[in-house]
Amino acid sequence: MTDTTDTTDAARTTGTAGTRVRTVRSRAAAPSPAAARPSARERGTRLLAALFLAPTVVGIVVFTVVPIIGSVVLSLFHWNVIDPPGWAGTANYRAVFTDSTVLVSFRNTLVFMVFAVAAQLLIALALALTLNGRMPTWLRSVFRSAFFFPLVLSAASISVVMKYLFNQDFGVINWLIGVFGIAPVPWLTSEHGAMATVIIVYVWQQFGFSFLLFVGGLNNIPKEIHEAAALDGATGLRKHLAITLPLLSPTLLVASVVGIINALQVFEQPYVLTDGGPGDSTRTVVMVIYEKAFEQLRFGEASAVGVLLFVLIMAVTAVQFRLSRHFVHYQ
């Protein structure tokens, strides 16, 4: 009875289930000092765990945390590689916020992200659902390999080939549609066409990853649930909307988080296909970082843009996880 009272009090105070459980545990079974001390076996296990984790932690610290801190520090300096760095304060941030190219690149990247991720998830989901149906195993394997194949190719190499294929004057694609009497399309030479083409190439290469996740997610859905739904009279679309999608929502969350983070960092495809053009229409944030650093020798400004991109990615990911509470269902 004491527990129940405590739970109610805690719930009133905190209003969250997680805190409630912690409060109950802490009051119901407060460990004695002797019990809190881990046994030799536990210490050994912890030591072993720490040993196994150490290489990864060291790797993350050296190759992720240190560069992030380095970028933040560098964003507060003027540095052109050649001369010693000089203190800039917030000047680099002021410069990038008034640089129209930077602002356009953020807009382009967000537009790219929305269309590329949406297309990637929809195509991958549709194909995964299709392949999950009745189909000979060998044919399913062929399709899976075919869809995954572009992902293992180099994005730069693919983009070089695609540049030939989509060339307005000499490309195979315009030649093919010309056979049907369609006028040549300015795939890479008009503002909207160029962005659409970059998205097409990117999605073609990337959807294999989401596809594999969805195939794995679909395999994890127990058949019994579908069979029970069928007994209750659920059919095709209804079954997918009421059962498949909710149970696939954790996979959908992972696919969308990874997809968005990747899309926000897109570089190779627009760099090779269009070099950011026509005008600035396909210039992305990472392209701007590269150009500012290695072409214009403004490493401080490049770092400032990098920091802003980092903040954007963190913010978008946090929003996704926050929203996921409403649509992700775990079995």
User: Between residues 19 and 296, which has the closer beta carbon with respect to another protein?
Assistant: 296
Length of the chain equals 331
**Residue list 192-251, contact with another protein (CB under 8 A):** 194
Q: Applying CB under 8 A, which part among 21-29, 183-191, 256-264, 307-315 lies near another protein?
A: 183-191
Kindly state the smallest distance separating residue 203's Cβ from another protein, in Å: 21
| Greatest CA separation for the chain | 85
| Contact with another protein (CB under 8 A) among 97, 149, 175, 321 | 175
CA–CA distance, 288 with 159 (Å, rounded to integer): 19
CA–CA distance, 168 with 188 (Å, rounded to integer): 7
188 binds another protein (CB under 8 A): yes
Site string for another protein, 70-109 (x = CB under 8 A): ----------xxxx--------------------------
Torsion angle, alpha carbons of 282, 288, 290, 291, to 10: 100
DSSP string, 195-240: HHHHHHHHHHHHHHHHHHHHHHHHHTS-HHHHHHHHHTT--HHHHI
CA–CA distance, 20 with 45 (Å, rounded to integer): 30
User: Between residues 30 and 51, which has the closer beta carbon with respect to another protein?
Assistant: 51
163 binds another protein (CB under 8 A): yes
- Among 93, 155, 117, 114, which Cα is nearest to 311's? 93
User: Between residues 250 and 278, which has the closer beta carbon with respect to another protein?
Assistant: 278
170 binds another protein (CB under 8 A): yes
280 binds another protein (CB under 8 A): yes
DSSP state for residue 151 in the 8-state scheme: G
**Which residue ranges make up the site for another protein (CB under 8 A)?**
34, 37, 39-41, 44, 48, 51, 80-83, 160, 163-164, 167-170, 175, 178, 186, 188-191, 194, 274-280, 291, 294-297
